[in-house]
Chain A
Amino acid sequence: MKRFRQKPSSEILTETPPPVVEELAAPKTRTDTRESPIAPDDPLLEYFVNSQGFIELEKLQLASPALESLRSDGIKITMPLISQGELIGLLNLGPRLSEQDYSTDDRRLLNTLVTQAAPALRVAQLARQQQAEARQLERMEQELRVARVIQETLLPKELPQLKNGKVSAFWRPARAVSGDFYDFLEFPDGRLGIVVADVTDKGVPAALVMATTRTILRATAERLVSPGEVLKRANDLLGPNIPRNMFVTCLYMLLDQETGELVYANAGHNLPYKRTADGVVELRATGMPLGLLPGMEYEEKQAVLEEGGSLMLYSDGLIEAHNPNGEMYGFPRLKQFIVDYQEDRDELSLIDRVVEDLWQFTGDGWEQEDDVTIVLVERQKVSRDEDAAAASLEPDWQAVAEFEVASEPGTERLAMDRVGEIVSELGYSGTRLERLRTAVAEATMNAMEHGNHYQVDLPVRIGVYTSAAALMVRITDLGGGREIPEAVQPDIDAKLAGLQSPRGWGLFLIDSMVDEMRIKSDEKHHTVELIFNTEGDKL
């Protein structure tokens, strides 16, 4: 049987003729895996497509190079294999071993064989084609997974630790890879460069342009100080290096960590929102997206991020997300959300809450339309009053130990161990000692994060007290004047479904570990009292 290929994409099985065919065939009959010798314009091709059954090549009168080739190969009989009007193969036979002509019975048998072989061959072809496509798809998916990992290495591995504040970021591509990115550049003089950019389109083309843009911006920002100049230079360098019809919107900002002064320029990116005690304002500066036209100038503006203020930078994917009713998330909703957010009453940060609001808005099963990037910069209020006056102690409590720890990530472990040792030395034992340790660690973390905003020079004061029937650990920070939310059981179903941030366990854990949790606040301080009932030396 000759292998025949009418369409380059379809494979044709090369079959050894079944025994009945072999018996009929001359020794010359063989399996041939060559591509079809029939050229697309050869009249034999059309003849085969329109013929069925037994064709004796000797009787054909066609000016066909393929016909000559078949004859010279010793082929006497050809039977086209047709499936759904498409020629998918040929069953070729040489002369009979007996050198007699093919009989009527032979013809009937061969006709039956061809009728059954054609659909079987077609099924095999399709199965093979499907396997090849599945392998190809798997290869592409694997490549995309690698591309995603590579792209993630282009994003900051760690967020910068601000002297008097905090930076947080959220990045989620619509596809395996993203055209959005954010970046931070820390300069020796203490200033922080902040970049948020969005390449037109999404997926692989956008991701490739993203990598180029990031490199150019980094190289440029290290040589030039002025954000307007950085964008101007980046625009000129990027233009010849990105495809036509693609461009990059980009916001570049310098933050002076000491004074909160901001200098920024904007290449067509969404205007950042600055949140202050008086409300939310947009930071406006004009400029064309990068990569569209060479020689552009970028307006440079200045602002101040006040103590206690925050700044949100974000990409289109957030604003242009749609809910099932086709409504867009939009600027007004985001702005109002930032206005309404009360950090003092919320265990989760503004960025976590915005993401949660986005998931709630878009609903279950949202097919993310565009890459989403959000960067939040918060500048903390610096409390200059370090006199951590403890709340008044009721008379039946006896102080056992008081100490302070610095507000530094990880320090809660020290507080936990120290309190654990103090309580053990008092002679208390029991399995609830572990509960006490966990409650102290979580309460200290909350005090450092939400009360003292991880300002290293602001201490958390910790005291251990006993009474006749209880043990108390009191933890005080300098975040007075804020209200602490009630401890409620976090909704793990919503967290697992991606509808809520996975965080937000601290207060619930504390409440679950202790017999009683009391919260006290004054203008300057905030105190959590963890109370464990005792029975003799049993905790």
Chain B
Amino acid sequence: MKAQPFSAQVRQQPNLATIDLHGEINAFAESELTEAYRIAEQTDPGTVVLNFTDVSYINSTGIALIVSLLAQARKSRRRLVVFGLTDHYTEIFKITRLSDFMSIFPDEASISSELV
């Protein structure tokens, strides 16, 4: 399998911003991910959602990037939630205790129902 360059797009909804992540979350993803989060924060949403559906690989540097986003979100009293993680990365989020600080949802629809 070839390496997939990382990209991210932001969708804004009322009080919610969703960042759709694509590719691999490693050191190469840092600037793109940071920029996407900055854009997501522009409307001052209460919740930022990370969509991992199209993420094929997360390494320890990627975990560190997510920890940085989480720290930023907590500082601005924003909720960070995720969906679309594979079982393996869900396990890694639990082992690293990331899941103690960010809710993990199976899909986008379940987030919407929770927020409603």
Closest residue on chain A to residue B1 by CB atoms: A417
Interface residues of A, count at CB 8 A: 31
Q: Which of B7-15, B21-29, B47-55, B104-112 forms contacts with chain A?
A: B21-29
Q: Which of B1, B3, B57, B95 contacts A512 (CB 8 A)?
A: B95
- B27 A409 Cβ-Cβ under 8 A: yes
Most buried by B among A445, A495, A505, A506: A505
What residues of chain A lie closer than 8 Å to B65, measured between beta carbons? 502
A155 to B24, CA, bound (A): 25
What residues of chain A lie closer than 8 Å to B71, measured between beta carbons? 495-498, 502
- B92 A438 Cβ-Cβ under 8 A: yes
A441 to B88, CA, bound (A): 14
Q: Which secondary structure dominates chain B's binding surface?
A: helix
A509 to B95, CA, bound (A): 8
Q: Which secondary structure dominates chain A's binding surface?
A: helix
B60 CB within 8 Å of chain A: yes
A431 to B100, CA, bound (A): 23
How many contacts A-B (CB < 8 Å)? 70
- B3 A413 Cβ-Cβ under 8 A: yes
Known: A438-B88, A490-B96. A496 touches B67 (CB 8 A): yes
Quote the shortest CB–CB distance from B106 to chain A (angstroms): 17
- A413 B24 Cβ-Cβ under 8 A: yes
Size bracket, chain B contacts = 20 to 34
A48 to B98, CA, bound (A): 68
- B27 A413 Cβ-Cβ under 8 A: no
A412 CB within 8 Å of chain B: yes
| Chain A contacts with B in 463-498, Cβ cutoff 8 A | 489-490, 492, 495-498
A445 to B96, CA, bound (A): 18
A410 CB within 8 Å of chain B: yes
Closest residue on chain B to residue A158 by CB atoms: B31
Closest residue on chain B to residue A420 by CB atoms: B1
Closest residue on chain B to residue A446 by CB atoms: B60
Closest residue on chain B to residue A495 by CB atoms: B67
Most buried by A among B57, B59, B64, B86: B59
Closest residue on chain B to residue A149 by CB atoms: B38
Closest residue on chain A to residue B75 by CB atoms: A498
- Some 5 contacts from A to B, beta carbons below 8 A apart, are A410-B26, A492-B98, A502-B65, A505-B96, A509-B96
Residues of A within 8 A of B (CB): 149, 157-158, 409-410, 412-413, 417, 431, 434-435, 438, 441-442, 445, 489-490, 492, 495-498, 501-506, 508-509, 512
